[in-house]
Structure 1
Amino acid sequence: MEIRWLEAFVAVAEELHFGRAATRLRMAQSPLSQTIRKLEKDVGAELFERSTRSVDLTAAGRALLPHAYRILDEVGLARKAPTSAPGSVYGRVSIGFSGALNHLTLPPLARALRQRHPNISLHLVGRVMSGEAVDRLVAGTLDLAFVGLPLNPGAVATRRIARERLGVVLPSDHRLAERAAVDLRELAEEAFITMPLLSGSALNDSALRACTASGFRPRVVQEVPDPFIMMTLVSAGVGVSIVTEGVAGVVPAGSVFRPLAGTPRFHDHALAWAAGNTSRVLGAVLDVALEVLPTPGD
């Protein structure tokens, strides 16, 4: 097994397209395919399912990927070690996030990390819902993720970083748009836009609990994987969406955010990581997160 074989494998695994991976590696597609075949022969298993239209990782490929990341990370660290200042932290950290829901938490963490640990390379992965984040943390393809709580206990370690009230995004010409707050019961007959129901979105779970407590189950007419696109569809008049108060400042034109009336209902945001991950880089990131994203009170 050669380092360049693993570099080729990671490029194809991330692009899921041999042409794009070849362009990224600045090589022709035919030598790239030959390199992947050499790696597959070396490990004794096919790593990709290839068709004329798509490329997907096999079970063997998914099993190899986190190890490939770690090996390439270690090679990068070894290259930097001779010229790095004593005590400096260097390496790569992959952070998953969902999108607009993290616009108040991801930027300050990323900025602080670049200032305090310029030798830590950030790999930011968007549109990662909480359920997928847990799977990827356990598999080792993510080091850290922004998630919603609660999560299934035991799979990962978590630290709460924000508690936000739930509210609703309405089209600006909606009959309730002028209200200071909206009683969720008045939306029982509305069309709802949500994250994919099977995506493992913690926000979906919070929204469903709020609707159930108000005596109805939401009628979902559209599922989209991105919170901002979800709100854009609200602006287009497709339906309404339950979100957190943190997005009030980024709702698109043609829509408005209104808090829910009555007893406040909350959605908790957290950072999550694999409990067994003892990476020094992850430890440095968590130390910075503790400073810039302090644990909120109840």
Structure 2
Amino acid sequence: MELRHLRYFLAVAEERNFTRAAERLTIAQSPLSQQIRQLERDLGVELFTRTTRSVALTYAGEVFLQRARALLTDAETAADDARKAAAGQLGSLSVGFTGSATYELLPTLVRAYADRYPDVTLEVHSDMVTPRQTEQLLDGRLSVGVLRPPVTVPGLAVETIRHEPVVAILASRHPATVHRSLDLADLRDEWFISYPSDPPSTMYSVMRSACETAGFTPRIRQTVADSAALVALVAADMGVALVPASLRHLHINGATFRPLATPALTTGLALAYQETDVSPLVRRFIDTARTVVRSRTAVETPTPPPPNGDEHYGIEF
């Protein structure tokens, strides 16, 4: 039994007439009758009672009609799903986001992707440091990573989609917040709250290298992988930290951001994925991410500097 047999049967069952069914199917009546007879032989039952004037379904034909309709609907759905899957419009995609992107880029990107591809199940894993993302990208637990480069792991393709400043974050009551910007060297005597160092996250490496370039080794009081916890610890006056400027979107009372006058540091944001056999799902997500980042960059405008000493200067929230 083939799908065409089901389509022929359905046409005859609905039209109750071989001539009209043949016209509907755009085939000759004789081949249609032969195909219905073949279907009945395959099934071992009569599906129609035939007279010179009418065609009617047998009881077996009535039962078969319900199943045939369901089978044809399922077949059409399967074909449609296959086309959607090939186009990257159906399936399941697992995406990891680094800390600052969790609070700033994730909402816009996930909403845009869901609007474009509502039939894709998106599994979001937030606040993941780069080493953890690369590990899960390699073993297949993540499909795409939104992370901080550099990443030099064989087997992964990495595309940097933007750069942003690295800034200092301090407790709001910290004396240094009276300044509109800071020199990193002025923080040499401070305790630092840091992202993980084993294996070293990108922001840990940036912080460590910058401090050493400024002439000191940072005193690290605590390391945390969770960006919200890091900001909360700084707000509690447990230390200072260096973070991407986009982390300002995580609003925690008691924390203050300040630009760095020296050194001027930046960090990238990148998309990472397995470089071989890139699936249509991954390609669609990457295209969406590029579009979202370009559109956000186009609408962002600098904030005018406030009067000297204003706590809400620049990137301060």
TM-score w.r.t. the length of structure 2 is 0.64
CA deviation after TM superposition for structure 1 residue 79, in Å: 11
1:237 matched to 2:237? The reply is yes
Partner residue in 1 for 2:169: 169
Partner residue in 1 for 2:213: 213
Distance, in Å, in 2 between the alignment partners of 1:189 and 1:180 is 20
User: Alpha-carbon deviations, 1:234-269, whole Å to 9, x = none?
Assistant: 111111111111122434111100011134111111
Q: Helix, strand or coil for the counterpart of 1:177?
A: helix
- The structure-2 alpha-carbon separation of the partners of 1:119 and 1:239, relative to structure 1 and needing over 3 Å to count, comes to same
Q: Helix, strand or coil for the counterpart of 2:108?
A: helix
- The structure-2 alpha-carbon separation of the partners of 1:85 and 1:275, relative to structure 1 and needing over 3 Å to count, comes to closer
Partner residue in 1 for 2:78: 81
Q: What is the number of residues matched between the two proteins?
A: 220
Q: Helix, strand or coil for the counterpart of 2:134?
A: helix
1:273 matched to 2:270? The reply is no
Distance, in Å, in 1 between the alignment partners of 2:93 and 2:76 is 17
**2:176 aligned partner, one-letter code:** L
Partner residue in 2 for 1:139: 139
Distance, in Å, in 1 between the alignment partners of 2:137 and 2:192 is 30
Alignment of 1:157-196 (within 5 A): 157-196=157-196
**2:211 aligned partner, one-letter code:** C
Q: Is the 8 A contact 1:97 1:145 kept in 2?
A: yes
Partner residue in 2 for 1:95: 95
User: Alpha-carbon deviations, 1:200-232, whole Å to 9, x = none?
Assistant: 411111111211111111100111111111010
Partner residue in 1 for 2:48: none
Q: Is the 8 A contact 1:132 1:200 kept in 2?
A: no
- The structure-2 alpha-carbon separation of the partners of 1:223 and 1:138, relative to structure 1 and needing over 3 Å to count, comes to same
- The structure-2 alpha-carbon separation of the partners of 1:164 and 1:79, relative to structure 1 and needing over 3 Å to count, comes to farther
1:127 matched to 2:127? The reply is yes
Q: Helix, strand or coil for the counterpart of 1:294?
A: helix
Distance, in Å, in 2 between the alignment partners of 1:132 and 1:248 is 23
CA deviation after TM superposition for structure 1 residue 101, in Å: 4.0
Distance, in Å, in 2 between the alignment partners of 1:200 and 1:90 is 36
RMSD over aligned Cα atoms: 2.4
Distance, in Å, in 1 between the alignment partners of 2:153 and 2:162 is 19
Distance, in Å, in 2 between the alignment partners of 1:196 and 1:80 is 48
**1:243 aligned partner, one-letter code:** V
Distance, in Å, in 1 between the alignment partners of 2:243 and 2:169 is 7
Structure with bigger gyration radius: 2
User: Alpha-carbon deviations, 1:106-138, whole Å to 9, x = none?
Assistant: 222211111111111100112321112111111
Partner residue in 1 for 2:246: 246
- The structure-2 alpha-carbon separation of the partners of 1:138 and 1:80, relative to structure 1 and needing over 3 Å to count, comes to farther
- The structure-2 alpha-carbon separation of the partners of 1:79 and 1:107, relative to structure 1 and needing over 3 Å to count, comes to farther
Which structure 1 segments of 5+ residues have no match?
Answer: 1-77
Q: Is the 8 A contact 1:149 1:202 kept in 2?
A: yes
CA deviation after TM superposition for structure 1 residue 169, in Å: 0.7
Q: Is the 8 A contact 2:146 2:272 kept in 1?
A: yes
1:116 matched to 2:111? The reply is no
Q: Helix, strand or coil for the counterpart of 1:93?
A: strand
Greater CA deviation, 172-181 or 193-202?
Answer: 193-202
Identity rate of aligned residues, in percent? 28
Q: Helix, strand or coil for the counterpart of 1:217?
A: coil
CA deviation after TM superposition for structure 1 residue 291, in Å: 1.5
CA deviation after TM superposition for structure 1 residue 282, in Å: 1.0
Q: Helix, strand or coil for the counterpart of 1:135?
A: helix
**1:240 aligned partner, one-letter code:** V
Distance, in Å, in 1 between the alignment partners of 2:78 and 2:198 is 44
CA deviation after TM superposition for structure 1 residue 150, in Å: 1.0
CA deviation after TM superposition for structure 1 residue 199, in Å: 4.0
Distance, in Å, in 2 between the alignment partners of 1:126 and 1:250 is 13
